[in-house]
Amino acid sequence: MDYLEVNASAVPIQLLLEADPSEQNIASYLDGAWCFAAKLDGKIAGACVAKAISNNTAEIFNIAVYPQFQQQGLGSGLLRFALGELKNKNMQRVELSTGTFGYQLTYYQRHGFRVDRVVKNHFLDHYPEPIFENGMQHQDALRLYVVFKW
Ligand SMILES: CC(C)(COP(=O)(O)OP(=O)(O)OC[C@H]1O[C@@H](n2cnc3c(N)ncnc32)[C@H](O)[C@@H]1OP(=O)(O)O)[C@@H](O)C(=O)NCCC(=O)NCCS
């Protein structure tokens, strides 16, 4: 497994759609973003897209691993790598939006993220189609953050 920074153009859109079903949303943050990838046998198996939103704060807009490679530790390695790289780029804080339920919330919290606030109706207002997980519709989002102390 190799973790490295790659060009935005190298990241397959199909992979990013695993985390964000809106191609329009993806296009809005991919341009000029920092992209980190997990490669297996030279091929991208996971990717993380982040961007500075102020002098010292970055936002993770997308993190995804192809379904056949999920639950094998790859996503945890990728998130750890991406956070380390963002710190190397002098970011002090990283933020992201995620659903109010689901394993992703646990995943981020295991990596030190804390809840900042609830964004009411986020998934209703920003996505044309309803988003379901475990038979439940995502409506509100949680805004999470981590501040580097290491
Ligand atoms: C979120 C994601 C990037 C994590 O990558 P991964 O390679 O599966 O991550 P890991 O194998 O390191 O697992 C991380 C944790 O998520 C859990 N997990 C991953 N996929 C899961 C699934 N489908 N169902 C339940 N738990 C799952 C793992 O069990 C692990 O939990 P633990 O830390 O309590 O042991 C990946 O699952 C993914 O691409 N999901 C779809 C896109 C997505 O939801 N992106 C995040 C948007 S908010």
State whether residue 110 is helix, strand or coil. Answer: helix
Tens digit of each residue's pLDDT (9 = 90 or more) over 15-74: 999 999 999 999 999 999 999 999 999 999 999 999 999 999 999 999 999 999 999 999
**Number of domains present in the structure of the chain:** 1
pTM: 0.96
CATH number, domain containing residue 15: 3.40.630.30
Residue 150's pLDDT is 65
Q: How many Cβ atoms sit within 10 Å of the Cβ of residue 5?
A: 14
| Residue 52 alpha carbon to ligand 1 centre in Å | 24
Question: Which regions of the chain does DSSP assign to beta strands (E)?
Answer: 2-6, 34-40, 43-52, 57-65, 93-99, 114-119, 132-133, 136-137, 141-147
63 Cβ closer than 6 Å to some ligand 1 atom: yes
Q: Is the CB of 55 under 6 A from ligand 1?
A: no
Q: List the domain range (segments joined by +) for residue 76.
A: 2-147
pLDDT at 149: 84
Q: Which two tokens stand for residue 35?
A: 């992209």
Cα 127 to averaged position of ligand 1 atoms, centre (Å): 22
The mean of the pLDDT values for the chain is 97
pLDDT of 19 reads: 96
Residues 98-139 pLDDT 10s: 999 999 999 999 999 999 999 999 999 999 999 999 999 999
**Cα 75 from chain centre:** 10
Residue nearest to atom 45 of ligand 1 (CA): 19
Quick: pLDDT tens for 84-109: 999 999 999 999 999 999 999 999 99
3-class state of residue 150 by DSSP: coil
